[in-house]
């Protein structure tokens, strides 16, 4: 029987890898694949059912996107499209004309079927115009990582609640907008090809502080990784979001955010945590990412304000990478490790609209380009998009297993003849 299974799977895999009935220049990819396919805006993308026929009606929605440099592209304002017919769709059908080149993550929902994720699509008009057929992958395994990430999100939602945007009028022209519950959940590749789950949530006590409009609530930030050896999730990091209290007089009213930067030596993405150590300008910046030993601190930067019993002496020490440097070198290092992506979990402004849609008045423009900031109103959608992506990957894996089982059970006399011949 093992021979039958091996031969049948080999035949199915060969058909899959060779593109089935697609033309010589056509491309075949798999639902649930995390390997990006390169297409032009006019290339046709045709999702197919398990029997190899094009799906004739479905909805396509984008759940995330990054540009050529890895920075976030906002997709929440890009409407889903309804696709009818056997010719599939092209990225130009869903992308606005001014959408930048980059990698987009589409999810489809067929009539009467579960959501499934298509492979990431890297869009550039220099890429091929060849038709891309998307099929169930007969050699896919159960996507346990996606299921466990999904379970972790639901577990946190059960404890802290789902993400909701709330606004508070603090009086005297001061507004705060913040995300309650599980405020953030996203799959992040820190440069080694492994997607890890980054989450941020606020408890009831922190939310009450936000609702008072006079302080800041602390968001807990965690990073989780799927460990193949144990088959379980491992927590790699636990800390608090930037903008929260870390020392005397630190923290600013109604501002809390996640911040990503790029390691200037490797280009890898890192999570930056900032902490103010005193009321006179002292601060620490720790950058977490992929290390030789796994995951941890890849760089630390410190501003140490020297104090005595009478307060600050006026002497300031600067450190980066464990070495003391002068202020000029420190400022240069800050530029090298400058934020490339900031997600506002809470924001303060002099108007409700500004709190929802703007960059905090407390957030230094020297720290981040406003174009790299996701405002509170948009940030709340990241959790929903991540759930859609994970659910679609889990469904794609289930469809793949069903396709494999169907290929084996439908092998008929050919499989038995091969088996019997081998036995003799």
* Residue-level pLDDT, tens digit, the chain, 424 residues: 444 334 334 434 444 444 444 444 578 898 888 889 999 999 999 999 988 999 999 999 999 999 887 788 989 889 999 999 999 999 999 999 999 999 999 999 998 878 889 999 999 989 989 999 999 876 555 578 999 999 999 999 999 999 999 988 877 777 888 899 999 999 999 999 899 999 999 987 777 766 655 455 678 999 999 999 999 999 999 998 877 544 433 445 567 889 999 999 999 999 998 877 666 667 888 999 999 989 999 999 999 888 777 767 778 999 999 899 999 999 999 889 988 888 989 888 888 998 899 876 555 545 567 778 899 999 999 999 999 999 988 888 777 666 555 554 444 433 222 223 333 2
Cβ atoms of 337 and 321 closer than 8 Å: no
State the CB neighbour count (10 A cutoff) for residue 267: 10
Spatial separation of the C-alpha atoms in residues 8 and 419, rounded to whole Å: 11
Q: Which of 237, 225, 243, 229 is nearest to 347 (CA)?
A: 243
SS3 113: coil
So what's the pLDDT on residue 169?
83
Residue 152, token pair as written in the block = 């972790």
Side-chain half-sphere CA neighbours of 349 within 13 A: 18
Cβ atoms of 383 and 154 closer than 8 Å: no
Contacts of 187 (CB under 8 A, 6+ apart): 149, 195, 196, 197, 198, 386, 389, 390
Spatial separation of the C-alpha atoms in residues 200 and 273, rounded to whole Å: 13
Q: Which of 359, 395, 391, 312 is nearest to 136 (CA)?
A: 395
Spatial separation of the C-alpha atoms in residues 382 and 392, rounded to whole Å: 15
Query: pTM value?
Result: 0.81
Question: Exposure pattern of 87-100 as b/e (b: 16+ CB <10 Å)?
Answer: ebbbbeebbeeebe
Residues 64, 67, 68: CA angle, nearest 5 degrees: 140
Residue 368, token pair as written in the block = 């981040």
State the CB neighbour count (10 A cutoff) for residue 51: 8
Cβ atoms of 287 and 229 closer than 8 Å: no
Question: Exposure pattern of 180-201 as b/e (b: 16+ CB <10 Å)?
Answer: bbbbbbbbbebbeeebbbbbbb
């Amino acid at each position: 029987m093992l021979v039958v299974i091996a031969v049948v799977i080999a035949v199915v895999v060969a058909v899959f890898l060779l593109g089935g009935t697609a033309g010589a220049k056509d491309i075949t990819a798999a639902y649930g694949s995390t390997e990006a396919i390169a297409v032009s805006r006019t290339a046709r993308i045709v999702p197919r059912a398990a029997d190899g026929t094009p799906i004739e009606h479905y909805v396509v929605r984008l759940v995330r996107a990054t540009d050529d440099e890895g920075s976030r592209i906002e997709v929440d304002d890009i409407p889903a499209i309804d696709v009818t017919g056997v010719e599939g769709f092209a990225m130009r059908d869903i992308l606005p004309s001014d959408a930048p080149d980059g990698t987009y993550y589409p999810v489809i929902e067929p009539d009467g079927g579960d959501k499934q994720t298509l492979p990431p699509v890297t869009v550039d008009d220099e890429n091929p115009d060849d038709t891309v057929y998307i099929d169930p992958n007969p050699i896919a395994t159960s996507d346990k990582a996606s299921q466990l990430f999904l379970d972790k999100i639901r577990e946190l939602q059960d404890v802290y609640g789902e993400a909701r945007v709330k606004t508070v009028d603090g009086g005297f022209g001061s507004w705060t907008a913040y995300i309650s519950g599980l405020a953030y959940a996203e799959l992040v590749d820190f440069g080694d090809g492994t997607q890890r789950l980054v989450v941020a949530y606020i408890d009831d006590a922190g939310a009450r502080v936000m609702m008072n409009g006079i302080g800041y609530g602390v968001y807990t930030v965690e990073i989780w990784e799927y460990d193949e050896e144990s088959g379980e999730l491992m927590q790699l990091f636990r800390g608090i979001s930037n903008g929260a209290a870390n020392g005397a007089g630190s923290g600013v009213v109604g501002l809390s955010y996640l911040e990503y930067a790029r390691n200037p030596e490797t280009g890898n993405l890192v999570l930056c945590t900032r902490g103010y150590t005193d009321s006179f300008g002292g601060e620490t910046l720790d950058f977490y990412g992929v290390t030789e030993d796994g995951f941890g601190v890849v760089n630390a930067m410190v501003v140490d304000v020297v104090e005595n019993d009478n307060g600050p002496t006026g002497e300031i020490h600067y450190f980066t990478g464990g070495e003391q440097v002068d202020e000029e070198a420190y400022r240069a290092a800050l530029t090298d490790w400058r934020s490339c992506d900031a997600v506002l979990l809470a924001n303060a402004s002099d108007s409700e609209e500004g709190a929802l849609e703007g960059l905090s008045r407390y957030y230094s423009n020297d720290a981040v380009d406003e174009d790299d900031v996701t405002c509170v109103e948009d940030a709340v959608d990241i959790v929903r998009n991540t759930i859609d992506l994970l659910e679609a990957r889990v469904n794609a894996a289930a469809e793949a297993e069903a396709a494999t089982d169907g290929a084996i059970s439908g092998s008929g006399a050919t499989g038995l003849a091969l088996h019997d011949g081998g036995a003799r």
